[in-house]
Structure 1
Amino acid sequence: MLQPEVKSKLGEDICIAIYLDNCKWNYIVDCGEASLLTVKDCMNARAIFISHTHIDHFINFDQIMRHQIGTKERYIICGPKNIAVQIQAKLRSFTWNLVEDDAVIYEIREIISENEITSYEMKPAHWELELVANRTTLYDDERVVVNFTILDHKTDVIAYHFKDKDSINIDVSKVTHKLGKWINELKLAYVAKEGDKIISFEEHQFKAKELFHYLKIERGNTLGIILDHASHKENHNKIKQLFKECDTVFIETFYKEEDKEKALINYHSYASQSGKIMFESKVKKAIPVHFSRKYTEEDIAQIKVDFTKAFQGEY
């Protein structure tokens, strides 16, 4: 189960951590100033997903990196065009003569277009960008698959869709046979959709599909993170396509309703438009985030009211 938490207090920038049940690692989306982000969050961040590199989304990368150097782990960083050279510039701005070559490895996946991703690798102390491969998919590990779309904010902004993979377990209460390695074979057959695969145990042979009723499938949830974007048709169409019926979505709601003209000028969204696109996308739970720092608690409370009305179809 994906469990997101906003790590930014009122008046700070945006940073979201995503945790998984029964899992030691986490993910981070954007690196804005965020006092609730812990050292453990940084060290355990298997991957960092950057929407874009405006200062309020990227300023805290140095602090996160500081806690990762020395772990000897591989960290994956995903982001828009030019993210690789921007990260390289940050790393090269420090002196690394006392750091070992294997202190950390960064793999940077740069999103060139909807269908093209270039992957690089960097290590201390010179932080040379080494081309690894060109990719067509962004991220996939044991637990999570991450897809994306590119939104317009007068620069590319990456909106991320996280899917927790389904959990496949054996329902012991239903099994009348002795447990053994056949269970893992059965799970693999289910995942591969090989219903006719022969599973052998206790001197018997079964087609896998004859045993599927022993499996208990727990559906993984979905999570969307949609940050800065212009409130226009092209962006909205992309949002509706990728985030349709998503379980939970955090969406930028930078401006109040009365400031929507500023939103249009600055390629941002505002209360009713963010709520409306979530309603039209049939999202189950939508949460407005990333408000202008000029707003008071009362202003943000009003944004949430206007957002909720639009999300409920009252617009």
Structure 2
Amino acid sequence: MRPSFHPSLINGPFDDPGVYVDFLFERRALLFDLGEPGPLTPRKLLRVSHIFVSHTHVDHFIGFDNLVRLCLGRDKRIHLFGPTGFTDRVGHRLAGYTWNLVQDYPTDFTVVATELYPDGTALTAEFHCLRQFAREADRRETFSGGIILDEETFRIRVAFLQHRIPSLAFALEEKRHVSVRKNRLEERGWRVGPWLAELKRAILSETADDVPFRVWWRERGAVHEEFHPIGVLKEEIVTIVPGQKIAYVTDAVFTAENADRIVELARGADYLFIEAVFLHVEEERAFDRCHLTARQAGELARAAGVARVQPFHFSPRYQYVEEEVRREVSQAFAGSGTPE
């Protein structure tokens, strides 16, 4: 079954952290953290609709300027989420430039920034290019269950961690995955077309099984159509399974509270992207710097029951022993222990 989301690290393990999630069936992507964009091409960056920023240390947010420069003059709207104080920081970054000519642009590139609070409230502000990115449209919002974005096919959940400052971890959860059984299409003599996307939307929105659904396609200039109950189509031509889950965790001190929140957020994930900044022999240094060790990353992944763990954000001190960091994560994830 082809997955809907394709996640990948933006940079190498010693470079700025971040994960790019490409949507298989849409010209769209999500970003987790916004450090130096590295090998991401303009085409890939322009697919991004939402960005989820753990915190605004420079290695997690320096790419904001590159993104703004790329989007100027385009009909683009980008929504960013971050921790307490995030809307002010976005506004300050935009205010650092002179915008006296943007009123002549044909499009209104817009930045929407939302800062999240542990009590389930949020503050959102907008910044419009055609109005010189002046802050406007402030509004207070609420979210429940940690869900900060809820769309038709997926949701984004947040966890609040400590890094001596608030640091956010995120999980992308596909609600359900609907896969078309093409062999059954061929048996029925039906052709692929836009109706399949419409059927998936109807199923995901839980349309009643007895509702008639139009099966149609164009062939040789003619429109072919039939009507069948959605329940019959679900039974005959699709497979419905639990959706993908991708978790992203970085810049968090190892405490019992942080560990519980990470495990809960990542539980059952197909992918857990998690920092492994220090080897465990430097556990005290890791605690002082408010980061995880490689062993802690592996143990958290194991406790969460994830399918795959992808460590990143290694300290530059391990440039020549990268495999040792990876081995420590892998051994802890497998439960085989790591050297003292």
Q: TM-score, normalised by structure 2?
A: 0.82
The answer on 1:89 being equivalent to 2:111 is no
**CA, structure 1 residues 99+217, in 2 after alignment: closer, same or farther (shift >3 Å)?**
farther
C-alpha contact 2:185 2:191 (8 A) present in aligned 1:
no
- Partners in 2 of 1:274 and 1:188 — Cα distance? 37
**1:151 partner amino acid:** L
2:169 pairs, out of 159, 175, 192, with 159
Matched, 1:28 2:31: yes
In structure 1, distance between residues paired with 2:192 and 2:324: 57
Q: Deviations over 1:4-26 (max 9, x none)?
A: 22222354221221112132221
Q: Is the 8 A contact 1:160 1:225 kept in 2?
A: yes
Are 1:17 and 1:41, in contact at CA under 8 Å, matched by a contact in 2?
no
Q: Hey, what's the Cα distance between the residues in 2 that align with 1:275 and 1:25?
A: 31
Identity %: 23
Question: Matched residues in 2 for 1:208 and 1:293: separation?
Answer: 55
- Change in Cα spacing, 1:73 to 1:292, as seen in structure 2 (3 Å) is same
Change in 2 beyond 3 A, CA 1:211/1:24 = closer
- The aligned counterpart of 2:246 is 223
Superposed, 1:1-315 pairs within 5 Å as 1-9=4-12, 11-100=14-103, 102-113=107-118, 115-124=120-129, 125-136=132-143, 137-141=147-151, 143-165=153-175, 166-167=177-178, 169=180, 171-173=184-186, 175=188, 190-195=203-208, 197-199=210-212, 208-217=230-239, 219=241, 220-298=243-321, 300-315=322-337
Per-residue deviation at 1:194? 4.8
1:294 is paired with a residue whose SS is helix
Partner Cα distance (2:148, 2:53) in 1: 13
User: What is the rounded CA distance, in whole Å, between the counterparts of 1:253 and 1:47 in structure 2?
Assistant: 25
Unaligned runs of at least 5 residues, structure 1: none
Using structure 1 for the length normalisation, give the TM-score: 0.88
| Range that drifts further, 174-183 or 41-50 | 174-183
AA in 1 matched with 2:165: T
Query: What is the root-mean-square deviation of aligned Cα atoms in Å?
Result: 2.9
Classify the secondary structure of the residue corresponding to 1:283: coil
CA shift in 2, pair 1:128/1:34, >3 Å: closer
In 1, the alpha carbon distance for the partners of 2:278 and 2:193 equals 58
Partner Cα separation in structure 2 for residue 184 and residue 16 of structure 1:
27
User: Which segments of 5 or more consecutive residues in structure 2 lack a partner in the other structure?
Assistant: 216-225
Q: Distance in 2 between matches of 1:24 and 1:187?
A: 17
Mean Cα deviation higher: 18-27 or 284-293: 18-27
Q: Secondary structure of 2:102's partner? A: coil
Query: How far did residue 214 of structure 1 move?
Result: 2.3
Letter aligned with residue 82 of structure 1: G
